[in-house]
A and B are shown apart, each in its own frame.
Chain A
Amino acid sequence: MSEARDSGAAIGRSVPRPRADRLLAGQGRFTDDISLPRMVHAAFLRSPHPHARIRSIDVAAAAQAPGVVRVVTGAEIAAQCKPYAGLHQLFSGMRVPDQVPMAVDVARWQGEPVAVVVAVSRAQAEDAVELIAVDWEPLASVVDPRAGAAPDAPVIHAALGTNVAYDGTVAHGDIDATLTAAAIIVEGDFTFGRHTGVCLETRSILADYRASDETLTVYESHQCPAQQQDIFARLLGLADNKVRVVCPDVGGAFGIKQQLYGDELAVCILSRLLRRPVKFVADRLESFTSDIHAREHRVKARLAVSADGRLLGLDVDDWFGIGAYSQYPRSSIGEGSHVLRITGAAYDLAAYRARMRMVLQNKNMVGHYRSVGHPIAIAVAETLIDDAARKLGIDPVEIRRRNYIAEAGYPHASHGGFVFEQLSLHACLDKIVALMDLPRLRREQDESRRKGVYLGIGLASFVELTGTGPDYYGKGEVRVSAQDGCMVKLEPSGKIRCFSSVTDQGQGVDTAIGQIVADMVGVPFDDVAVFSGDTEVSPYGGGAWASRGASMGGEAAVRAGRALRENILAVAGCVLQARPDELAIEQGAVVNAGDRRIRMTLAEVARIGYFRQDLLPAGMQPELSVVRHYVPHGRTFVATNGIQGSLVEVDPDTGFIRLLRHFVVHDGGTMINPMLVEEQIRGGVVQGLGAALYEEINYGTDGELTTGTMADYLVPMAFEMPDIDIGHVSVPLSGSELGAKGVGEAGTAGASAAVINAVNDALAPFDAHLTQLPMSPERVLRALRKIA
């Protein structure tokens, strides 16, 4: 490690992203920027009903429409591929339905693709979609998860015999006895609205099947190209060495470009059927109806507390609605699993019980969105802790400090079944108190209250699971790779080309990988060009998910960079008649390990390695390209932690909430690029603040989607966002070379919980309290009893 730092120290610097210049110059190349000869466009007819039988589909008129190449129904598509199911074997008793790309016989959510038109232009395809006649027989739908679990509820998938896809409990200690004996119990009934990722670039795919050699090339806006290669090959019966998935520039992903979508698989099938390239780019309405949703939970929870503010036990009951299917391949259980296992994870609880019921509904699928499940678990625990503090007259800072996992208590076996090697909860708390200048804020709050201005201050501690290891999906028999790889190559000029299996959707991970490679090889950062997102040339790996790009992909880059350095020094040693350990590489040149005198440039090493092998001893084989991989053995997740603080002003007459300031202190271990870390945290916070106040996908009582446009789904914009101050505590991850932990989702994890606590703090003088997100003005006024 020290060797790496000494060599050039790109690691730890706020290097700007090379990719950003290109994107700002309008030279990004997204999937929709790619056009191929003979390419045609797909548009889908989607079910207008939440639940309906398809009596018949008449495509005759559509097939005759101008520009139409082919009209295909769900049944024809299903005949062209194997079914799949989003199952996770770690969760025994989980029951999920088989899926095919489009609805066959029955449509089970509004927006499910039913038929598809392929035409010369997208506009013509949309024209023809309007001419498809479907004879629908609407069926009763399941909307609310609890109603869906009732014995008389309509069963969405007859083969399962129930809508309850999972019912599981995690227990530790004797929660019933603890609740009986506790001095006080605080309880809450929490409702969380559905969200989605809202990427600037909507889902896009261009599939190109070449019949002559049975080769499928897919350009796709996706986070995980290797996973898609594996899926397309298996489901379509193709050889995976003839399936290439390319993810060019991707305009945001946030977890919603991490799974298999039926419409995208259908596009691959259409290309094979038609032997033409087929493109599909989701429009914004399709994005709201069919992009993965998240966070529909109803949680009842009770917290047992002693008279002196000791947290004794927590009892959690979560109803989790996942829509009509379980997302593939990861399954939809991740959110619920996290609610089961990390609610209250920052605290030492003697008794804990959590039950989670995952229920199928006639709504779009729920899956993974930034900070999977964490915002739910954190909001539940942190709200109850503040309620307890208020009831007992204890300061919110103090009640947290009293109850965190003890400093001396690591490694800590958590009540949810994980081992936390080392957290920095106390240090983060101390730091945020200073960052916020809490005593001053409390004084300001008192003074403004006297003037009729209601400020609120909220804190939310969090423990976050990042960097998923092989013990989660591996043991769950889910084909999601916990490994990542990195290829580095010395170019003839002495510069470095790097290909990483981790992918970049705008977060800047390729910059971090470049910094690591630069230091490990010993070249300036500008001499490293990083590429990713093409299975044709990429080492195998999981891609971008679980905040693991820099921490896990970075470890592969460390190993690859070091191996290349050793190989370069082996060649240089032959030329310079020196032992490799007498040499080092610095700023792109081979130097003496002792006096750092330059001996030869890397360009000279490359010239000899590639063009003048005659100068090398017989048998010396220069290896100036290397590939290395990394998998985090022995871990289910890498646990990180942090705390967020929120300052709000609530207008008790209108119910409007103004976000005044937001604060984060986070432990991401070693920071490879502090600027990227902070902007990742800020971006995540904004999505968390959207959850707190604005974003919600609504369905009507029968399951009809009522949030179809950006005017209905309110994403926060610059005007609504406060300044976000960030502080760091850096406890390096043990057992890793870099010591980096996940940061990409930390901002989202705790932001909404901090805002709920701030709002409830502001409303405390009115004896008003909220437990529903988002906190719309209407809900605030209702809590204030100003409207019914």
Chain B
Amino acid sequence: MATQSSSLWQKHAIFEKNSIILVIGIIVAIAWGGLVEIVPLFYLKSTIEKVDGVRPYSPLELAGYNIYVREGCYNCHSQMVRPLRDEVERYGHYSLAAESMYDHPFQWGSKRTGPDLARIGGKYSDDWHRDHLRNPRAVVPTSIMPSYPWLEKTPLDIKHLGDQMKTLSIVGVPYTKDMIDNAEKDAIAQGAADSKDVKGLQDRYKKIIVRDLGADKGKLTEMDAVIAYLQRMGTLVDFKLYDSKANIR
């Protein structure tokens, strides 16, 4: 089409004939795209809005989060209620960026083979989660979700939670030294309602749900951690108090 002219459009020959120049060109193009798409997210106010109630995961919830990632739950479940009528009708208030600000990596997901889980916390009982994770067909006969029976048979490894929290604090999760030092103790206290350590746990983590799972007798399983994680999901922000208009400009 432009065979006769030697316009600007012909200059691409330089790129096509010199691989080094091509590589530099690709880097510049992608860097520019990144600059325009990503950098504004770090300073635009609505993308970094602070929301009351959001706190880092407690150690037990963090252990549950790790298992959620390990088992690949994000492959079939999203954690992102979009601001669309049908989604808000079904799942509840649309998700806020702040609600996953302490997830590294975030679990928004991109596919819903199963339902969205962003507001699953408190929607069903612990027993239901237990029955359902053991064998989804026991409660939902048409479910195609895999069974996860090993979760309740595998003792929870809590040894490295403190280290993980320390690492997360480097990337900006506000874990204090107090929280990191008490990681193991807090993980156990969240599953031992009668423990004397519960008070300290409640002081460190607001709105925490403590259960009587015999954790102080060494009975904490991976199932307990996943349930602690799921039951907390989407419950931290009190939407009766949340001012959505503050971020509409």
A binds B: no
